[in-house]
Each structure stands twice: as structure tokens, then as C-alpha cells.
Structure 1
Amino acid sequence: MKYGLHDKPPVGTTILSALQWMIVAVSSSVAVPLMIGDVYGLQADEIGNLMQQTMFFIGLASLLQVWIGHRYPMLEGPAGLWWGIFIILAQIGTSVGLQPREIGQSFQIGLGMAGLLFMVFGLMGWIGKLQRWFTPLVSGTYMILLAVSLCSNILAGMLGIGFQHSKEVIPHVAIVSVAIVALVVLVMRTKRFSSFAVLFGMVIGWVLYAVMGWTEPVRPAEQVIAWPSLFFWGAPRWDWGVVLTSMLTGFVLLTNLVTSMVVMGKATDTVPTEQQYNRGGVFTGVSHVLSGLGGVVGMIPLSLAAAVIQTTRMAARLPFMLAMIGIMAIGLFPYVAHFLAALPTPVAYAAMFISYTQLLGFGLKDYVNVKMDDRTIMVGGSSLLVGIGVMFVPATAWQHLPALVSFLFGNGLLLGVIVCLLLEHVVFRQKGDTQKKDDHAA
């Protein structure tokens, strides 16, 4: 590690690292408001407002976490589980006569209720105890399935699928993506600039796209400063189905909080304490409440931050805190938000490719540390096969089931981890398992 959590890098290094964190935050989150806006039928200016709301609350929630929460430089970003629920319930709501905006109004309450759930678990000290269930086999399964679930989107993005509404591979985009990956690897091999490999890849790739005329024009802003507003979708609306789904989703995402902190501990060569888990839970609750107030997709700690730290060898808190203040500023200045939203998605995917491979590496390292006996093969193999297998089942195959059930069984990452937890601690529970969990937590 070049700079640890408590280190203070030189001014120039701090500024460049902060800029890199800002670009990572934008590139990992910018697609979500665009997709939600498309599904919910928002106009261009409304999508722009949702983008600004999202950026502001990402910066605020992440700053609170690194300052007084779990204190790791870990991004709070839109949870894939949340925006999946947003999309599915919008589609189901439309089929029963509800307007998408009414679903959004109900989600504002649902997110707040889920946030209260996180706060209660954190204040009661239950999250610190919950982490004992996440043995190396469980956390390894989670990281492997996370990397596998991301790989199709990453490669599709690098090949140009979805770029400028293309449904096919764009050869010249694919070639440039490979060149950007090669550039990131090359910069990583240098001692002086290795911490800024992702930044170099994104900036140079963006410049190349601009020179080739492949970028979209930046949409002009009508205001210089636009403050975030409360309840983007309108007055909160109570809907039992949406609220209960949100509560259950929040409970499921407790596992994400724990695994993300475990992985961040490995990336920063530290061991999270029980107090850190509980504080992280409280402020993940705060971020959900903020999401509900702002009407944005629910936020959780992103494991991607650990991969970025592993790639750049930069774990210092100061650059991260400055970056999150910068992200909040983006949410206040519409023109800056519109400019960064113009980053070509294939460039972002290509520059982040090596960071995503680190996620798989974390999972494989956990598996290496486990004795490969018949029990381990049964638990790990079954969990991976179930999780990966479900990823290949068409989403339409689950549409006849209730919304929550269809999303739980249609989410390979979530289902694989649940299967692993059940097999590890219930079906094939070993004698003295409690002691082993305590030793793992220690």
C-alpha cells in the first residue's frame, strides 16, 4: 500500500487522487438516473435534475460515512438491488393502472423505512454480530458472484453495445476499449503514476473520443446553481406493497454492508471492528433516509471502492473526503453535472476493467484460504452453480411471480449468497461453528 488510511499524501498527489475518486464516483453512478428516467418516462430536464440529486446525495452520504461512520474511503452509491426493484415495480405498477410517478412517491417512504431498519440494527449492535456469519467461504462466494454478475455489462459496454443506442458490437469502439485497458495496465506498472492509472485511462480515452467526434454534445444548463430539492417524485404516498418490499430489500442489503466492509478491510490491510460495522449500519440507514428525502435510488457501500484502492494502492481518507465534497458541488452546479454525464460509457467501462478484476481476485483469495474438503466443495460449488446458473435465466421467466419473489429468485448474486449462508451455517453446519465464527471475526 503506497498510502494507508491515516497517511497524508503530498498536495499534488492528493488533488489528483481526489479527481480520480470523483471520476470513479460519477462513472459508477451516472447510468442509474438515466435508466430510471427512461423507465419512469421523465423528460430530459427531469432526468438532469435527478442526476444532480443523485450526485449530491452520493457525496453527502459518502462524506458522512468516511467522517463519522465506518471511516473507510468507500463510496455510497445506488444499489443494483434497489434500482432493479425500482424498475420491476414500475413495470408491474403500470400493468395494474398505477402511474410510474406514484411508484416513485411510494418508494420515498419505503427508502425511509428501510433506513430506519439499518439504524435500529446498528444502534442495537446487531450488525457487528451479523458479520460473524460471513466466513471466508461466504465472502468469497459473494465476491466471485459479484464479479461474474458485472462481467456481461462491463464487456458489453466496452464493445459499444448500448452506446449511442447501438444494439450491436461497434468494432472501432471495441478496439479503443482494448487500447484503454492496455494503457491502464501500462501505467499501473510504473511506480510514479500507478495510483492514477484509472484517471489516466478515462481522461485519455475521453479526449480520444472527442477528437474522433464520438462524444455527445454537452446539454446547456438553464441555471448556474440549483439546490437539491426534497421529494423529487412529489408528496410521499403510502403503498403497502412498495413499503414492505423496501423493508425486505433493506434487510437483504445488510449482507452487502457486511461483505463490503470485509472486503474493504482486506484492501486496506485492516480488520473492521464491531463498532465500525455498527456505525456503518447506522449511517447506511442515514443514506437511505437521505435517498428517500431526495427521491433517488437507495445507496449502499460499493465494494468497487476496495477494488480501486487495490489497483491504485491509495487508501488515504483525505483525497476521498475532498472528492466527496466535489461530488456534492457537482450536484449544485448543473453545467458541471451535465459535462461529466457526457463521459462516454465505453471509456468508463474500459478504464475500470482492471479494477473490476480485483473483485474476482478477492473472492479467489478467500477460497484459497479454505480447506478444500468435500464439505467446502459442496457448499461453495452449489452456491456458485445456483448463483451463476440463475444469471442465465431470462428475466422474463420470472414475470408471472410476485415482484419481490421474482427479483429475489432472479438475482443470481443475492440467491447464491443466501444459499451459501444456509449451507454453511444450517445444512452443513460443523460442530463448534460458533467458535469458528468468533475466531474469524477476531
Structure 2
Amino acid sequence: MKNLFKMEHWLAGLQWLFFLFTNTVVIPITVGAAFQLPQGKTISLIQFSFFFTGLACILQALLGHKRSVMEGQSGLWWGVILSLCYAAPSQGMSLTALGGSLAVGIMISGFITMIIGLSGLSQHFSKLFNSGVMAVFMFLLGCRLNAIFLKGMLGIPFGVHSETSHIDIPVFLLSSTVAAFIIIFSIKASPAFSRYSLLIGIIGGWVLFGLLFDKKEAIDVAGIMDIEFFLLGAPSLDAGIIVTAVIAGLINTSNTFGALKGTDGIYKIIATSKHYRNSFTISGLFVMIAGLFGMVPYAPYVSSIGFLNQTKILERLPFVIGGGMFMLMGMIPAISNLMAKLPLSIGSAVLLVAYLRLLHSSLQYFAQIHLNTANIYRLAVPLFIGIILMTFPSSYFETVPSILQPLLSNGLLVGILLSLVLENIHFKFLTTKKDQEHLNKYVQEGK
């Protein structure tokens, strides 16, 4: 109890608050814009996102994996949802119908995630997500999300097709300047200040946007807040969307393995089967909550590894304090109203820089693989096919059966599924002694 009153823990908790805020604030705003939600519903999404993210972090720290690892709205899910928003109109589906089917699929995937946790199946799933799958997953996720962020920086509204939109050059010049500043500041500033580079970029870019432009990108928050269930649309049953959501939920489990395995070295202890069970159970619960309220579903954040390495704040108390403060932010409407005004171009620039770091995580996994002929093919096929599918317009898939359109038109999911299949075939039939020697050497070097 005495530790609760130590100033250093509250300062560390404030740092965690900044980290939670930076990684969360743009997500409900972009989803609200993509689904063309009314002002009040976007504010509600922000409030729910803040409140439930803080609560999820606290429960994971106290009852789940018991580590200071952010439990937040998944980047993989975010990329899938925004991709579906872009594709829905060309496939003859309204955004309300898309949101309703997503809600059903997300709640089903949350229930499955809970079952994986409660039954102990996570140990079997862990074997599927080896170095090759994680390398492809990290790389494709970076490609998908950063493509969306770059559109935001160009001033192209979310949810609007490129043929009806145009690049806003002044907005792009400002957003690219903000991105360049964050990168330079992160490299040149001392560690004590560089950890706040994303926060400084958001605040500074926001102020400059307000000074230089008519606030055409900012959401007008005048009006009454509209709080309700299923903010993206009443439950509906489109089989293709539901199947895609369930598959995305299963692939989303890779975040748990990446975050816990990545922090084993930091905490100098290997996560036990109990930690995985508890973590999956809590994540599954919050995925179901996300479907109920129309939020992007939850997962442990792999990016927490970088934060822990940089700040060396391993204690759970500051993390819990930060989560509690974030919950409080979600309970105060005035703060949510203010956050809803964040320009999408500035938020996109900040997140582009944050998710560029996925390349580092991807390369670390690639380094664990001995690049012989068989291994090159097992990596190249899912990578190139996934990236190429991302460039195809949705109209290409109109002849595909409707139940498969949402899945096959999503390069991120197709690439990861291909990687899972090829990795399983490879390790059953093509693994060589040299492959194993390379991996053992990599592990022994502590990389």
C-alpha cells in the first residue's frame, strides 16, 4: 500500500497513460469516419475505447498474464475492419449491414478465444505461430496499416474510394512534416524525451493544423452524445463477413504469443500455460465486449516490448495506475469531445511512424530462418501474394462467391493463412538439419 503513494510510481503511471492514449485515440476516430457515423456515436466510441482499454489493462496485469503489457484494440483487427469498409460499397453492401455482421462475427470470435483460454488449447496454437508465420504477419500488417495511414496523410477521407477523392497537397505537406519531425526527434533526442515523441507529434501537429487550416477534417462534436449498443449497425447475418471475422479472430491470437514470448526475456521468466490461459480468457471477454459496443477487438500489444525496453518500468503498479487514469478519461465526456476533434491527417502521420517499427519486429523473425531455396519460397509466396492482393480493387472479386469475397479480397488475411499452411507443410516434410542449427544458434546468442 505504501508503494501507491510514491511519486515515482505516479510519474511512471503517467508515462503509461501517454502510451495507452497514443496507441488508442486515433482508432475510434478512424473507424467512426470509415463508417460515416454521426458525431455522437463517434464520441461514444472514443469513450468506450478509453474506458475498456484501461479496464482490460488492469485485469490483465492483476488476473491475466500479470505483466505490464498493454491490452488494446488490435492492429490486425483494425486493418481488417478498415479494409472491409473500403470494399463494402463495391460489393453492394451497406456500411450498416457490414457493421452488424462484424458485430456478430466479432462476438463469435471472442467466445472462441475464451474457449481457447479456458480449455488450455493455447499451447497447441502456439506451435502454429512459429518464426516464419510471425515474420509474414508483422510485415503484412505493417503494409496494410501504413497504406491506410498514408491515405489519411494525403487528406483522403476514410471510407471514401480513391476515384471520388483527391490528394490535399497542403494537408499532406503538414502531415509529412509532422512524421519527419517525430522520426528525427526519436533518433536525436535523449531517451528521457524521445519516449514522448509520438505525444509531442500529436499535440504539435494538432495545433499547427488548427492554425493553418479551416478545421475541415476535425469532427464537429456539438450535439448530444449518443450511447448505445451496436454502434456500427444492428446485428445482421452476412456469412462472408462472419467467416472473415472468425478467421481474423483466430489469427489475432498471434498477438498474445508475440507479446508474451517477447517479454519473457525482459521479465527473465517464461510465461506458463496458466498465464496463457488467463490472458486468452480475458482477451476473449473484451473481444466480445468490443462486438457488443462496435469497437475494434482487443489483444495484447507487441509494441509494449519496445516501451518496456526503453523505460525499464517493469512493475505492475505504474501500469495499473496508468490504466486507471485512462478509464477516468473515458468517463469524462468533455475529454472525449476534445479527442474527437483530432485531425485524421495528423493522427495518421503519428501512427505511420509508430507502425514503421513493425519492420524491425519482422526482420528479427526473418533472422531466425536459414534462407535456403525451400525457405525462400515458403516466405515469398505468402508475402508477395498478400501484398499484391492488397493492391487489387474490390471489383476484381465480384465473380467470386459472395461468402468468400470478404476473405479473398483481404491480402492481409490471405497472406497469413498461406503462411500458416506453408509453415505446417515445411516443418513436417522440408525442415533440414541446417535450419535447426541456424535457429539454435540464434537462440543461444540471445537475439
Q: Does TM-score exceed 0.5, indicating one fold?
A: yes
In 1: Cα distance, 2:146 partner to 2:154 partner: 12
Q: Percent of aligned pairs with the same residue?
A: 23
For the residues of structure 2 that align with 1:235 and 1:179, how far apart are their CA atoms? 38
Compared CA separation, residues 81 and 218, structure 1 to 2 (3 A): closer
Report the Cα offset of residue 277 of structure 1.
2.6
Cα distance, 1:182 vs structure 2: 2.4
For these two proteins, the number of residue pairs brought into alignment is 426
- List runs of 5+ in structure 1 lacking aligned partners: 1-6
Partner of 2:69: 73
Deviation, 1:363, is 0.7
TM-superposed CA distance for 1:397, in Å, is 1.3
Letter of the structure 1 residue corresponding to residue 290 of structure 2: S
RMSD: 4.0
Are 2:124 and 1:129 aligned? yes
Distance 1:234 1:32 in 2: 13
Structure 1's 230 and 184: CA in aligned 2 closer, same or farther, altered over 3 A?
same
Residue of structure 1 in register with 2:81 after alignment: 83
What's 1:196 paired with?
196
Q: Decide whether aligned partners of structure 1 residues 335 and 349 sit closer, same or farther in structure 2, where only a CA change above 3 A counts.
A: same
Q: In 2, are the aligned partners of 1:93 and 1:100 still within 8 Å (CA)?
A: no
Unpaired runs of 5+ residues, structure 2, are: 1-5
What's the CA shift string for 1:313-356, capped at 9, x where partnerless? 76664454334334433433332112112112222232333322
1:125 Cα deviation after fit: 0.8
Once the two structures are TM-superposed, the CA of residue 149 in structure 1 deviates from its matched residue by 1.9
Provide closer, same or farther for how the CA distance between residues 53 and 273 of structure 1 changes in structure 2, counting only shifts above 3 A. Answer: same
Q: Distance in 2 between matches of 1:47 and 1:361?
A: 33
Is the CA contact 2:39–2:223 (under 8 Å) kept in the aligned structure 1? no
SS at match of 1:192: helix
Are the equivalent residues in 1 in contact too, given 2:240–2:407 (CA < 8 A)? no
How far does the alpha carbon of each residue in 1:36-70 deviate from its partner, in whole angstroms, 9 at most, with x for none?
A: 2x1xxx43333433443344333333433333223
Secondary structure (helix, strand or coil) at the match of 1:201 reads: helix
CA distance in 2, matches of 1:402, 1:268: 48
Equivalent residues of 1:137, 1:370 under 8 A apart? yes
Please tell me the residue identity of whatever aligns with 1:83.
I
Whole-angstrom distance in 2 between the partners of 1:271 and 1:398: 44
Aligned: 1:364 with 2:374: no
TM-score (norm 2): 0.79
Change beyond 3 A, Cα 1:384–1:248? closer
Partner of 1:322: 321
Distance 1:138 1:197 in 2: 31
Structure-1 separation of matches of 2:315 and 2:176:
29
Shift of 1:32: 1.2
Aligned mates of 1:383, 1:401 — CA distance in 2: 20
Native 8 Å contact 2:15 2:322 kept in 1: no
Once residues 149 and 9 of structure 1 are traced to their aligned partners in structure 2, the CA distance between those partners, rounded to angstroms, is 39
Does the 8 Å CA contact 1:25/1:75 hold for their aligned counterparts? no
Deviation of the 1:361 alpha carbon: 0.7
Taking the aligned partners of 1:350 and 1:269, their CA distance within structure 2 comes to 35
Q: Tell me the SS of whatever aligns to 2:250.
A: helix
* TM score, norm. by length of structure 1: 0.79
Q: 1: distance between equivalents of 2:281 and 2:321?
A: 23
Closer, same or farther in 2 for the Cα pair 1:392/1:199, shift >3 Å? same
Distance 1:314 1:140, change over 3 A: farther
Aligned residue type for 1:219: V
Distance 1:135 1:164 in 2: 34
Q: Distance in 1 between matches of 2:324 and 2:56?
A: 10
CA distance 1:240–1:393, change in 2 (3 Å): closer
Worse overlay, 359-368 or 302-311: 302-311
